[in-house]
Structure 1
Amino acid sequence: MALGMCPKDKLYRGYIDLEIQLREFDRCRILYEKFLEFGPENCVTWMRFAELETLLGDTDRARAIYELAVNQPRLDMPELLWKAYIDFEVSLGETEKARELYERLLERTLHVKVWMSYAQFELASADESNVELARRVYERANLSLRGANEKEERVLLLEAWREFETQHGDESSLNNVIKKMPRRVKKRQRVQADDGTEEGWEEFFDYIFPEDEATKPNLKLLEMAKAWKKQQTNDEEKEGEDDDDDSNSSSES
C-alpha cells in the first residue's frame, strides 16, 4: 500500500530487506525491477541487485544486471557502478573481461583515477608481463592527458608512474619518467569583474612539461614557414596587380 501511495527509496529498501530475511528471493527480484523502474539512475540499487544475484550464485544474471546498468543514459554515481562491475569480474578471475571494461570506460572518460586504477589492475594480474602491461597503461595515459591539456591530472599520473618505476622498474625506466616531470612556476594573470572592469592581478602556479617544451621549436618553425608562404602569396598578388596597371596605362596611351 505504501509503495502504491508514496513510493520512496527507503520503503523499497525496507521491503526488499524484509523479503531477503524471509528468503523470498523471487519476490526480491520483482521488487528490484519495480525499484529500478522508479529510479533507473540510482547506481546503488543496480549494485545491490547484482550483489544479490552474485550471492545466489547466478553470475550470468548479475553480469546482465551490471550491463544494463552501465548502459543507462543517466546515472547518479557512474564511477562507483563501473568500479563494482570491474571488481565483480576480477573476483571471478575474468581478467580479460575486466580489461575490456576498463577500455570501454576510457571511451567515456579519461579521468586520471581511471588510468591509475587500470595500471594497478594490470600490475596485480597474474600475467608474467604484468609490469610491462602496467607501464603501457601509464604511457597511454600520459599521451592522452597531454593531448587533453589536463596539467593537474597529468602531474598526479606522473607521480604515480614514478612511484611505480621506483618499485618495479630499473634505472633506465625510472630516469625516463623523471625526465617527464614538470617544473612548477609562478605566474600572474589579470582579474576582471563580472562587468568587465579590471580588478588587478592574481598569482597562480602553472606546470611546464619538458615534453611540451621540446615541441615548441618545431611549432615556431612551422609558424615561420606559414608566414613566409603567406608573404610569397601576397607578393605574387601584388606583382599581378602591378602588371595589370602597366597594361592599362599602355592601352590608354
Structure 2
Amino acid sequence: MVGTQQWNSVATQLIKAFAADGNEPVQMKLYKSLRLWAFYVDLEEGLGTLESTRAVYERILDLKIATPQVIINYALLLEENKYFEDAFKVYERGVKIFKYPHVKDIWVTYLTKFVKRYGKTKLERARELFQHAVETTPAENLKVLYLQYAKLEEDYGLAKRAMKVYDQAAKTVPDNEKMSMYEIYIARAAEIFGVPKTREIYEQAIESGLPDKDVKVMCMKYAELEKSLGEIDRARAIYNFSSQYADPRSDADFWTKWHDFEVQHGNEDTFREMLRMKRSVSASYSQTHFILPEYLMQKDQKLNLEETVDTLKRAGVPEDEMAALERQFAPESNNTASKDGSRKLGDGEDDDKIEIAHKDVPAAVFGDLANKVEENNKDGDEETDSKLGALERIKRQRQG
C-alpha cells in the first residue's frame, strides 16, 4: 500500500508538471507522451505486478507509440516470467508494426530466442520464420539472417539444406558482400563435404559477376586448391585465365606466384607461355591506359598551382606577384604555346637579318609560255646591247 501511494503521488506531480495552460484537459495533451508512458512502465515493473505491467505495455501498443526497444523489453519481461509463447507473440506483433531498418533488431532477437528455446523440436516452424524473414528483408541486411539460418540447418537440420542456404545467400547479398559470403560458403563446404566439393563453388563465384579484383583473388585461391590436389594442368589453366585481371605493372604478386609455380611444376615451354602471356597482358593494359599517367600529372600540377595561389591570396600577396608566380610554375607546354602564339611577323627587331632562300620554278611548269619569255628576253638583251657604248660592250664580253 505504501508503494502504491508513493506511485500515485509521483504520477500526480508528473501530470501537473507536464500540464499546459488552457482549458483543454491534460490527458488530451499527454496521453501519447512516450516518455511519460516509459516512466509509467518502469514504476509498474518496480512496484506493481506482472499483470499491471502487461496492461501498461498493451496500452502503449494500442496507442501505436511503441518503439523497437519497447517491443524487446516487453518480450524479455514475459520470457523472464516463463511466458515464452506470449513473448514470441509480442515479437510477431513487432515485426508487423515496424519496417526496415527499425525491425532488424526485433527479427534477430526473435529468431535467436526461438532457436534457443525450441531447437530441433520445432524445426519446421523455425524454417518458416527464417524464410519469412529473408523474404521481407532488404538485400543489404540479409547476410546476418542467412548466417543464422544456415547455422540452424547445420546444428539441427540437414547439411544439404545448409549448403542451399549458403548458396542462396551468396547469390542474394549485395556485390560488396559477395566475396566474404563465398569465402564462408567455401570454408563450410570444405569442412562438411571435403575439399573437392569446393570446386563447383569456386567456379560459381568466378562466374557470378564479382569485381575484377575479387575474381583474381578467387582464382588464385582456386589455383592453390588444385595445386594442393596435384592437378597441375588445372592450376595452370586457372592462372592463364586470371592473368587478364592482373596488370604486371601494379600486380607483381600474382605474376610472382605464377612464376614460382612454373619454376616448380612447369617446363621450358610452359615458362615461355607464361612470359608470353605477361607481355600480352602488359601490352593490352598499356594500350588501354596510355593517356592516364600524363593526364594525372597535369591534373595534380594544376591542383598544386591552385592551392598555392589560394594560400598566397590568404597571405595578402599582391596580384602582380601571384601572376608572375603562375607564369613561373605553369606547364612548359603552355609556356611554349604562348610564346609561339604571341609572336608576330614584323614585330621583331631582327627581321631584316632573316635570310629567305629562293628557288626558281622549273620551266616545264610553264610549257610553251616559258619559250616565248626566253625569246623576248633575248630580243631585249640585244636591244639593250645596241644601246650600250663600246666600252661597256667590251666589259660584258670579258665577263661572259
TM-score range, shorter chain: 0.5 to 0.7
Q: How far 1:154 sits from its partner (Å)?
A: 2.0
Which protein has the larger Cα radius of gyration, Structure 1 or Structure 2?
2
Q: How far 1:157 sits from its partner (Å)?
A: 1.5
Structure-to-structure mapping, 1:210-221, within 5 angstroms: none
Quote the sequence identity (%). 20
| Two-structure CA RMSD over aligned residues (Å) | 3.0
Q: How far 1:42 sits from its partner (Å)?
A: 1.3
Larger mean Cα displacement after TM superposition, 161-170 or 33-42: 33-42
Say yes or no: does 1:85 pair with 2:110.
Answer: yes
Q: How far 1:10 sits from its partner (Å)?
A: 4.0
Partner of 1:139: helix, strand, or coil?
helix
Q: How far 1:80 sits from its partner (Å)?
A: 0.7
Give the corresponding residue for 2:152.
Answer: 121
Amino acid at match of 1:142: A
Structure-to-structure mapping, 1:37-76, within 5 angstroms: 37-40=62-65, 42-72=67-97, 74=99
Q: CA 1:75/1:42 → structure 2, altered by over 3 Å: closer, same or farther?
A: farther
Alpha-carbon separation, structure 1, partners of 2:148 and 2:49? 37
Q: How far 1:45 sits from its partner (Å)?
A: 0.8
Partner of 2:90: helix, strand, or coil?
helix
Alpha-carbon separation, structure 2, partners of 1:112 and 1:31? 36
Residues 85-126 of structure 1: per-residue CA shift (max 9 Å, x gap): 11221122133222111100121124233222211222222x
Amino acid at match of 2:53: C
Q: Is this contact kept in 2: 1:42–1:75, CA < 8 A?
A: no
Match of 1:103 among 120, 124, 131: 131
Residues 7-47 of structure 1: per-residue CA shift (max 9 Å, x gap): 54443333322222225111111211222344446111111
Amino acid at match of 1:172: P
Alpha-carbon separation, structure 2, partners of 1:105 and 1:157? 19
Give the corresponding residue for 1:173.
Answer: 197
Q: Is this contact kept in 1: 2:95–2:103, CA < 8 A?
A: yes
Q: CA 1:57/1:88 → structure 2, altered by over 3 Å: closer, same or farther?
A: same
Alpha-carbon separation, structure 2, partners of 1:54 and 1:91? 12
Amino acid at match of 2:132: R
Alpha-carbon separation, structure 2, partners of 1:74 and 1:161? 29
Q: Which structure is higher in strand share?
A: 1
Give the corresponding residue for 1:137.
Answer: 165
Residues 205-227 of structure 1: per-residue CA shift (max 9 Å, x gap): 676899xxxxxxxxxxxxxxxxx
Alpha-carbon separation, structure 2, partners of 1:140 and 1:74? 23
How does the TM-score come out when normalised to structure 2? 0.41
Q: Which ranges of structure 1 fall in alignment gaps of 5 or more residues?
A: 186-204, 211-253
Say yes or no: does 1:153 pair with 2:189.
Answer: no
Point out which structure has higher relative CO (alpha carbons under 8 A, 6+ apart): 1
Q: Is this contact kept in 1: 2:75–2:91, CA < 8 A?
A: yes
How does the TM-score come out when normalised to structure 1? 0.62
Q: Which structure is higher in helix share?
A: 2
